[in-house]
Structure formats: C-alpha cells, structure tokens
Amino acid sequence: MIAEKMKNMVANSSAIRAMFEEGNRLAQIYGAENVFDFSLGNPNVAAPESVKNAIVELLNENDPVVLHGYTNSNSGYADVRETVAQSLNERFGTKFAGKNIVMSVGAAGGLNVILKTLLNPGDEVIAFAPYFGEYRSYTNNYDGVLVEISPNTVDFQPKLDEFEQKITPRTKAVIVNTPNNPTGVVYSEETIQKMASVMEAKQREFGTDIYLISDEPYRELVYDGAEVPYLTKYYANTIVGYSYSKSLSLPGERIGYLVIPDEVKDSEDVLAAANVATRILGFVNAPTLQQKVVAKCINEKTDISYYDRNRETLYRGLRECGFDCIKPQGAFYLFVKSPVADEKEFCAAAKKYNLLLVPGSSFACPGYVRLAYCVAYETIVNSLPKFRELAGEYF
C-alpha cells in the first residue's frame, strides 16, 4: 500500500547505505578493526574543539527560548545569514547580503528546496556522470527528469560537447559538484568558463533560463593547494548549495545553506519560493543551535591534513598493488578502475577480504568503484595487505 514511486525507491535503496549497514554487520562478526569499510562519506576526523566550545558558550549566553525557537524567517537567523554572506564576500570577492542566504538542513535539504522551487513536472536537470546518485532521487521528488552526460574517464572533467548537445528548451537546471563525489576531481577554471559560455549561448538560443546549481559540500577539502573556482563569478544564474557536514564534520547535525545571488534570474521570486519551500517541505527552518554554531565557527575547519595523509597513503598503496586510479585533488574519495568490467563482481570479491567498496553504477559510471577514505589512518594502513591479496586475483 505504499506509493508506487516509493516501491522502486525501496527496491533500489541506496547501495551506499546498504554497504554501510553491511559494514556494521561484519564489524559485529569480525571486530571493527578487521573490517575495512570504505563505503560511506561519514567523516572520521572530529569536529574542531571550537564547535564544542561554541555550543557551550551559546547555551550559557543565550535565552533558550530564542536559541531553540523558530527563527523569525524560515530562511534562518538574520545575523547568521549576514555572517555567512560576509564570510563569502571576504573569501571570494562576491557581494552577497544576508538576504541572499537561505540556511538549510544540510546540502541535501538545500538541494531539495531549490529543486522544489524551480522544477515543473517534466523539466530536465542535467548531471555529469559520475555523479552522486541522490541527484536522481531529488529530481524525481519534483517530477523532473534527470539527463545524464556520460563520464569522461580520462580525467573526469565534464564532457562539454555532449553537454551542449543535450541542453534542450526543457533544461531547467544543471547540477555540478566540485570537488566531486565520487572522483575527488576539482573542475578547472577553464572547464567552468567553457561550461558557462555553453549555457549562456543556449539560454540565448532557446530564450530560457538555465540555473547552474553548484553542490559544494567538499569545497574546503582540497589538497596540493588546489583552487576551487567560486561559480557565481562565472555564470550569473548560479545557485550554490553548501554544507558544513564535511568542513566542520557535522553531517548528522544537518546544517548548510543556499546562496541565491541577486544576479540570478527572478532572484526575488526564487528567494521567496525557497523560503516557502523550506517551510512546506517540513524543514521549517535549519536547526537553530547549529545555525548559531556555524556562525561562531565561520573561519574554522576540520583537520584536512588527516585526510591528505589518508589520500596519499591509500593512493600510493593501491597503485603499488596494480590498481588504476587518478589522484584526486579534493573531497575524500578515490575512484578506482575495476580490474573486471563488472565492478559489482569486483566489489563482491573485495568483500571476501572485508573490504567494502561502492560500485560505480551507483554514480552512473560502471566499471569503477568508490572508496571513501574519511576513515581512521590505521584502517588505510591495515587494509593495504588485503588490497594486495585482492589484487593477486587479477594481476
């Protein structure tokens, strides 16, 4: 008796989640130290101490009626939105005001709000494979149609020729995610510039508005001094979705924001509708204590060096075993070529060694597997002999 739409969703329930739950099961059998669970992007590095201090200060200094109350606007506390806007302006030379910020229940909440705001049934949303599989669910929630651009497995930058061909008069939005889940690739400034000019030309050609939605939970997680272009500066119709899940290691707390700049087409309507969507989707407002926490910790971030050491160690170790993988500049994922065409078979083989990997099919890129290296360093080190045994089956 559940909804038809949900029957399929339950049947195809996230392979990532299923793997994560399998990891917990195996840990109970073999002991957590003998299970190498690379399945979920659940940060292993603790939130900075400043988060804890901020919470205690907020509890001591604020009237609980205000601290835990509904915010005056569904878009969040005015002072928090202003703090976020000013911080972005300082970092990226943008000119946002508090009103351009809509606090959200993580990036997932923010993406749902903006897709609810924009999509009419049948509207097309373009995503570049490999992409986070939830984009398809979020688009389906509002009866949109996800249009895939096939993966460029040379360097995992988006295929802009195919992109240009697949934009239609029904294209309402394009989602990009850089640094990327699952590849860790940062889209280059050149890529962004070309993408922007393709979209501008298509807007003119069709007389439509095409919104670029930049999903940025991994913005702060970059290595080797990589720069992540701020997309609102390259294309006027850009909306940013941000999350503190990774930058402050607060994924369970569900806190992030949308940026809807004045330059966006019909900006005031989009802002008003995002406010209403926040309310009617049941978020009402982003969790209030955590809104205040992120404002207090606006210049803090998690210990990136920990992830960087994991990245170097796992990347080098896998390469030495014979696996093929590009070295990512951001996020906390490695996207590894499966030594056999059917990567699900490879995942099953890995599981014999208690190595839990997610098939690339979950990201519309079969033939690859994703490893989330946001795990304990010891997990990486201890997993490498297992990967060597696994490699022995193929090379």
Residues in 138-177 that interact with a second copy by CB under 8 A: 138, 141-142
- Is 3 a binder of a second copy (CB under 8 A)? yes
Between 285 and 383, whose beta carbon lies closer to a second copy? 285
Residues 121 to 140 in contact with a second copy, rule: CB under 8 A? 134, 137-138
CA gap 206, 123 in Å, rounded: 14
Single out the residue of 338, 336, 320, 332 nearest to residue 373, CA to CA: 332
Examine residue 151 and say whether the peptide bond preceding it is cis (omega within 30 degrees of 0).
Answer: no
Stretch that binds a second copy, among 15-23, 148-156, 307-315, 320-328 (CB under 8 A): 15-23
List of residues 6+ apart from 7 with CB closer than 8 A:
none
CA gap 53, 35 in Å, rounded: 33
- Is 207 a binder of a second copy (CB under 8 A)? no
CA gap 47, 232 in Å, rounded: 28
- The tokens for 41 are 């992007």
- Is 192 a binder of a second copy (CB under 8 A)? no
Q: How far is the CB of 112 from a second copy (least distance, A)?
A: 4
Q: What's phi and psi for 275, nearest 5 deg? A: -60, -45
- Is 181 a binder of a second copy (CB under 8 A)? no
- Is 209 a binder of a second copy (CB under 8 A)? yes
- Is 356 a binder of a second copy (CB under 8 A)? no
CA gap 317, 309 in Å, rounded: 12
Between 270 and 350, whose beta carbon lies closer to a second copy? 270
Size of the site for a second copy (CB under 8 A): 85
- How do beta strands 333-337 and 256-259 pair? unpaired
- Is 366 a binder of a second copy (CB under 8 A)? no
Q: Contacting a second copy (CB under 8 A), which of 15, 18, 67, 304? A: 67
Q: How far is the CB of 310 from a second copy (least distance, A)?
A: 14
HSE-CB for 148 with a 13 A CA cutoff: 14
- Residue located via tokens 């080098």: 316
Stretch that binds a second copy, among 56-64, 174-182, 305-313, 317-325 (CB under 8 A): 56-64
Q: Contacting a second copy (CB under 8 A), which of 18, 160, 226, 281? A: 281
Q: Contacting a second copy (CB under 8 A), which of 88, 102, 119, 294? A: 119
Residues 222 to 261 in contact with a second copy, rule: CB under 8 A? 249-254
CB 115 within 8 A of CB 138: yes
Q: Contacting a second copy (CB under 8 A), which of 180, 232, 290, 354? A: 290
- Is 280 a binder of a second copy (CB under 8 A)? yes
- Is 106 a binder of a second copy (CB under 8 A)? yes
- Is 83 a binder of a second copy (CB under 8 A)? no
CA gap 385, 392 in Å, rounded: 11
CB atoms within 10 A of CB 226: 14
Q: What is the b/e burial string over 303-312, where b = at least 16 CB atoms within 10 angstroms of the residue's CB?
A: ebebbbebbe
- How do beta strands 211-215 and 171-176 pair? parallel
- Is 379 a binder of a second copy (CB under 8 A)? no
Q: Contacting a second copy (CB under 8 A), which of 166, 287, 317, 384? A: 287
Helix H segments across 62-105? 64-67, 78-92
Stretch that binds a second copy, among 6-14, 81-89, 364-372, 381-389 (CB under 8 A): 6-14
Between 302 and 361, whose beta carbon lies closer to a second copy? 302
Between 110 and 158, whose beta carbon lies closer to a second copy? 110
Q: Contacting a second copy (CB under 8 A), which of 283, 307, 363, 387? A: 283
Instruction: Give the H or E element holding residue 37.
Output: strand 36-37
Residues 36 to 55 in contact with a second copy, rule: CB under 8 A? 40, 42-47, 51-52, 55
List of residues 6+ apart from 353 with CB closer than 8 A:
36, 386, 387, 389, 390
- Is 378 a binder of a second copy (CB under 8 A)? no
Q: How far is the CB of 268 from a second copy (least distance, A)?
A: 10
